[in-house]
Structure 1
Amino acid sequence: MCQLRPPSPQSADRLVRASGMVVALLVGSFAAQAQEAGGLNAEMTAQVQLIAQAGARAGMPAQARVEVQVGRLDPRLKLAPCLQAQPYLPPGLQMWGRTRVGIRCLDGAVRWNVSLPVTIKVFARALVAADALPAGALLTQALLSSAEIDIAAEAGAVFSDASSLVGRTLSRPLAAGEAVRSSSLKVRQWFAAGDTVMVRAVGSGYTVAREGQALTAGLEGQSVKVRFENGRIVSGRVVGERNVEMLL
């Protein structure tokens, strides 16, 4: 894998739902959940860590090491007693860095639902700057090194394959040992307005390719409009040199 990106909320949710039986059995094994000056008891803390780790690991390499730091509930909350509480991943929420896990009461006089702050660290090997590098530096193999870092500490994908970085230009300075992230690279222009591009429409189990004319410059990862020969105009994402992808 050349780039390591945060797992999508959808993939994290699928993984957690696949392990839902384990979570349900463990959650059902302890009694009332109560706040202890904003903290959780040991059983619920373990469940929060389990579900957060599962969400963070979705789509991650097997060798990645995940650490979950569980925060504290808002001390102003006054929760009613609950015989069975369950942690869950809030829909659409990314399970990297500073995020949160939901906890809901399933069996109690009052069915409450609260959010618990968590910090998720994901340690994996990635490419870093071998020495301090200025903005505008042209990356070469000699300027890069590999190290285990918390890839969830900042926004932006990290890289594990040097060939995908050689020749790229930094948009900001990097300290020695700092990860080279997609957000620290200058955006590449893959084609100009008026160029002929290949548009690939990707659906469930099929791909259709067709040529068209770019109406605007194609910047890496950005949306672009393309006009086909019959006059139809579509939008897609720039994924490479003269290549546009549409997700159906």
Structure 2
Amino acid sequence: MLRRTAFLSCLLLAGWPACAQSVLDPALVERVRQLTETAARASAPPNTRVSVEIGALDARLRLAPCRQVQPYLPPGMAAWGRTRIGLRCTDGAVRWNVTLPVRVAVFGRAVVASGPLPAGASLSQDHLALADIDIAAEPGAVFADPAQLVGRVLAHPLGAADAVRAPVLKARQWFAAGETVQVRVAGEGFAVASEAQALGAGIEGQDVRVRFESGRVASGRAVGERRVDLLL
């Protein structure tokens, strides 16, 4: 761990010339770890375990000495998988701001393939198993209940023990063009329901145009069997 996180403490205390063989200040490492774990747990499912591995700063950096370094999660940066934590100097002759690589693992129980499965396979209970995995290792939501996946079709092949993630599944068609659909129209402080005619196929997660009885045409998101959400 010391070699992997080497370099920062010397920069903070002595500047660049003395930094070739220095190690990271353990107190700062712990603050980075606590910040990362707190952010990861805030979005982690229940009954999961978070593990954080701290990386090292780019050895090409030449940072001025700093008496106080503040770690923070950069805006828009997820505290999952391979990510970065910001470090900014708040008390020094020169104020600087850099990022430190970290790897966040979130271990939990999820559905995996019980054996190799080709693209196009229609999932059955026999294809699926539960295992403890790092759900943050790859992008895409995982599933906790195999029953949710029975009948779903794979868009990409899976190896044995691979997690079944949302991106490997073919999008479902919730309704066809011309069908009558229930449209939920929602805005700030209100929500109403109405019927409309679908002007295109309702593909899971995609926008589709609908025509109301008044003749008005609008675009909403296909969210279920003959259901569309339209947000104003």
Shorter-chain TM-score tier: 0.7 to 0.9
C-alpha distance in 2, partners of 1:96/1:151? Answer: 9
2:205 alignment partner, one of 192, 213, 221: 221
Query: What is the alpha-carbon distance in structure 1 between the residues aligned to residue 32 and residue 124 of structure 2?
Result: 42
* TM alignment of 1:53-202, pairs within 5 A: 53-202=37-186
Residue by residue, what CA displacement relative to the aligned partner does 1:17-46 show, whole Å, maximum 9, x if unpaired? xxxxxxxxxxxxx9x835855963211111
Contact 2:204–2:222, Cα closer than 8 Å, also in 1: yes
Shift of 1:129: 0.9
Mean Cα deviation higher: 65-74 or 52-61: 52-61
What's the secondary structure of 2:43's corresponding residue? coil
Whether contact under 8 Å (2:12, 2:64) holds in the other structure is no
- 5+ residue gaps, structure 1, are 1-29
Q: Is the 8 A contact 1:39 1:72 kept in 2?
A: no
Pick the aligned partner of 1:241 from 209, 217, 225.
225
Aligned residues: 218
Percentage identity across paired residues of the two chains = 58
Deviates more, 1:81-90 or 1:192-201: 192-201
Pair 1:33-2:12 in alignment: yes
**Amino acid in the other structure paired with 2:161:** G
Distance 1:101 1:247 in 2: 34
Q: C-alpha distance in 1, partners of 2:190/2:43?
A: 22
| Paired position in structure 1 for 2:3 | none
Higher mean alpha-carbon deviation, 209-218 vs 106-115, is at 209-218
Q: Write the letter of the residue equivalent to 1:73.
A: L
Unpaired segments ≥5 residues, structure 2: 1-8
TM-score by length of 2: 0.85
